[in-house]
Chain A
Amino acid sequence: MTPGALLYLDLLMMGLMLVLAVGALYARSLRHAVILFIVFGLVVALVWARLRAPDIALAEAAIGSGLAGALLLAALRDRRRGAESAPRSPAWQVVAVGAVVAGLVLLLAWAFLDLQGERANGPLADTVRANLDVSGVSNPVTAVLLNFRAYDTLLELTVLLAALLGVMSLGPQRPPMDAAEPMAAGLIGWLIPLLIVAGSYLLWVGAHAPGGAFQAGALLAAAAVLADLGGRREFRLPGQTWLRLLAVAGCAVFTLVGLAALIGSGVLLQLPPDWAGSLILLIELFATASIASALFLVYLGGHPPSWNSREGHPDA
């Protein structure tokens, strides 16, 4: 292997990331900015792949580029025509922010250089590998996320829920679209099952290979987004109540399992090694549904119509 030559690819990627970031920020119109942001997500996913981190590359491609892109494009549609160009900031703000960012970059560079000795075979990685067989899974990333540092993941899910609540308080949801033309509808018609199968596959494979709940949830959310784009009445989606229940279910199940572990072993979220594999799968199953539902509700962007009218019964 001649890693030296691949350096050119890496330098190219770095340059592209910077160009895209600047381009997205200073683009002529918001529409251009959104497209550049989507491509930025693509390049970052490639960078993660180069850094040998397929789990993160999967998440970046699915959520950071794809879903965020669909979300931003939908938000753009909601804006009034003519309100498309971003306002310019005053010069002193640009300089101040630039100085702070430059300071952060220097700090990170120093930290990175300082850690040069600690590569993938450092003590932390060794500890994870040593304890892998009691974790219930064989993918070290999943072991860390769902067992050793499960508390962090639980909090992440809670943060997602909080963000969803924030979005839902912003206003009414986007109205449904008309049925798509036959060509788009046909494409969506087979993409949705493909996404569902691919999402289920990623959830299943996450135990022993890159994948997991976040990536799977993102693909399922993408399927729901496609159904919305195809004309919500034609493609049947779970009703609003179901979506909200599913969004909460992930945190709920996670917490319940954690509490059960507390009762069993005295420590919150300490999974017993015999059950760890099955418990992790259970948590991930609900987390996937939860993430998918939450991301889709964020895409819809507001509270359901039944919250406006005070008729007392939720729409199905």
Chain B
Amino acid sequence: MLDALSLLLIFSGLAFYLAGTIGVLRLPDTLCRLHAVTKADNLGLGLLASGVLLQLSDPLQMLKLLLIWLLVLAASATGGQLIARHALDERPDQRAELPEDAK
């Protein structure tokens, strides 16, 4: 049934959101935390949005939902990169730990 599938997707997405939050709280390093955040953004929102999408009937609304997901996908990936670069600039000592081609 459509409702059951929706709920499955929504709760899976929720699991990723919670994983992201826990990751942010427990991981030792800014860059690791960024990793957790982007996972929550992409997968969490993607699964949640898919679940919500199944419940909609108006094509315009479905399009909006798709747009929101694509936007967050692209923006959080790029934003994450910007934050990472900013974090490295503030704490140059972390650069030494990166593999050679990431600097």
Contacts and interface: CB of A to CB of B under 8 A. Distances in A.
Q: Do chains A and B touch in the complex (CB under 8 A)?
A: yes
Interface of A: 181, 183-184, 186-187, 190-191, 194
Contacts of B75: 187, 191
> DSSP class of B's interface residues: helix, strand, loop or mixed?
helix
Contacts of B85: 181, 183
Contacts of B55: none
B28 to A, nearest CB: 21
Interface of B: 71, 74-75, 78-79, 81-82, 85
B71 A183 contact: no
B78 A186 contact: yes
Given A184-B82, A186-B78, A187-B74, 7 more contacts: A181-B85, A183-B78, A183-B81, A187-B75, A187-B79, A187-B82, A191-B75
A34 B47 CA distance: 32
6 contacts: A183-B78, A183-B81, A184-B82, A187-B75, A187-B79, A191-B75
B71 A187 contact: no
A184 B78 CA distance: 8
Contact of B71 (A184, A186, A194): A194
Contacts of A190: 74
Contacts of A181: 85
B42 to A, nearest CB: 16
A183 B74 CA distance: 12
Nearest to B82: A184
A183 B83 CA distance: 12
A190 B82 CA distance: 16
The 9 closest A-B pairs by CB, nearest first: A187-B78, A183-B81, A184-B82, A183-B78, A183-B82, A187-B75, A194-B71, A186-B78, A187-B79
A193 to B, nearest CB: 12
A270 to B, nearest CB: 35
A186 B85 CA distance: 16
A171 B93 CA distance: 39
A194 B68 CA distance: 11
Nearest to A188: B78
Nearest to A191: B75
Nearest to A198: B67
A213 to B, nearest CB: 21
A183 B79 CA distance: 9
B33 to A, nearest CB: 15
Nearest to A181: B85
B35 to A, nearest CB: 17
A214 B32 CA distance: 39
Contacts of A187: 74-75, 78-79, 82
B68 to A, nearest CB: 11
A187 B78 CA distance: 7
B80 to A, nearest CB: 11
A186 B71 CA distance: 14
Contacts of A191: 75
Contacts of A184: 78, 82
A297 B21 CA distance: 37
A105 B71 CA distance: 40
